[in-house]
Homo-oligomer: A and B are copies of this chain.
Amino acid sequence: MFSFAEIKEAEARIRPYINHTPLIPLENLDSVLGCRVCVKLENLQVTGAFKMRGAMNKILSLPEEQLKRGVVCASSGNHGKAVAYSAKMLGIPATVVIPETAPAIKVEAIRALGAEVVQCEVSERFRIAAEIRDRKGAALIPPYDDELIMAGQGTAGLEIAEQEPDLDAVIVPVSGGGLIGGVSEAIRNLAPGMKVYGAEPALLPRYSRSLEAGQRVQVPSSKTIADALVSSMPGEVCFPVVQKNVDQVFDVDEEFVLKGMKLLLTEGKILAEPSSCIGIGAVLQGLVPVEKEMSVCFLISGGSVGLSQLAQLETV
C-alpha cells in the first residue's frame, strides 16, 4: 500500500534535479475569491510543470541496466517533456508518444530536449508506447498510475505542508490522480487538519463519479480546454489513495477554467496553462466552501501555454 515513506524517499532522490518552487500569497485575489489566496508555483518547476517530480523519481528508481536501454512514455505534453528532460539530464535515450491534438508548443519543447517524438491518434498512444517498449527494451514511464510516480508528485504536497503548515485548504487539479494522490498523502501525514480538494473538468467527471460510486468509473472521453486533464478513468493505484485522503472533488465548467486563467494572469500576474487554473475556476464557480479568513492554496500545476493562446482570454 502506498505510504508517506515513499514520498520522503522520493524527496531525497529527486532533490538535486528539481526546483523547490515558491509558495506565495496573491493578496490582490483575496477579495474576488473570498478567501486568503496562496499559490504553489509548479509552473516554475523544471520543464514548467510538476510532472518532473514523478518522472524523475520513477527513472531514478530503474536498474542501471534498464536505464541504458532508455525510456518511453505516452503523454499529452507535460509528462512527455518531463521524461525527455529527465532522460537528457541522465544521458539516456527517450521516446515520447504524443497525440496529434497536443499544442505545437509542447511538441516542439519535447523535440528540443533531444527526445524522439512519435505522433499518433489519441486513442492509439498507449498501444504504440507499449510497442516501443517491447521493441527497444525501453522502460515505460506511466503518466500517473504508479506508486513511484505518485510519490514523486507527492513531494509538491510535502513542500506545501512545510512552507505553509497553517493553510486551511489546498486545491489540486485532477486527471488520473497521480498529483492529488501524492499531495493528499503528504498533507494527511504532515498537516492532518488541512482540507484537500480536487478540481476536474465537468466534461470529464471521472473522480466525482467514481467517488460517489465507491469504485472506479469510466466516463466518455471529451475535449476540454484543460488539455492536461484528459484521462477518462481514475488510475487503479491512485483511486484508493484519493478515496482515503481527499475531502471533495469539484466538477468545473469550461468557462470558469478560462475565467480562472484570466484572473490569475491579469490580477495575479502569473501565467499558467488552463488546466492549472481549474482550482481558481472552482472557487469562481461557487463550488468550494471558502470563507474570508480561510487560507487556501491553489496548486498551479504547469505553465505550458503559448502567447497566441492568450488572445482567447479577452472574450472571457
Contact = CB atoms under 8 A, between A and B. Distances in A.
Contact of A269 (B25, B44, B266): B44
B27 A24 contact: no
Interface string A126-146: 000000000000000000000
A39 to B, nearest CB: 10
Contacts of A27: 19, 44, 46
A28 B271 CA distance: 14
Interface in A249-270: 265-266, 268-270
Count class of interface residues, chain A:
20 to 34
Interface in A1-54: 19, 22, 24-28, 41, 43-44, 46, 48
Contact of A310 (B41, B43, B269, B310): B310
6 contacts: A24-B24, A27-B44, A28-B48, A265-B307, A269-B270, A310-B310
B307 A314 contact: yes
Contacts of A28: 19, 44, 46, 48
A167 to B, nearest CB: 16
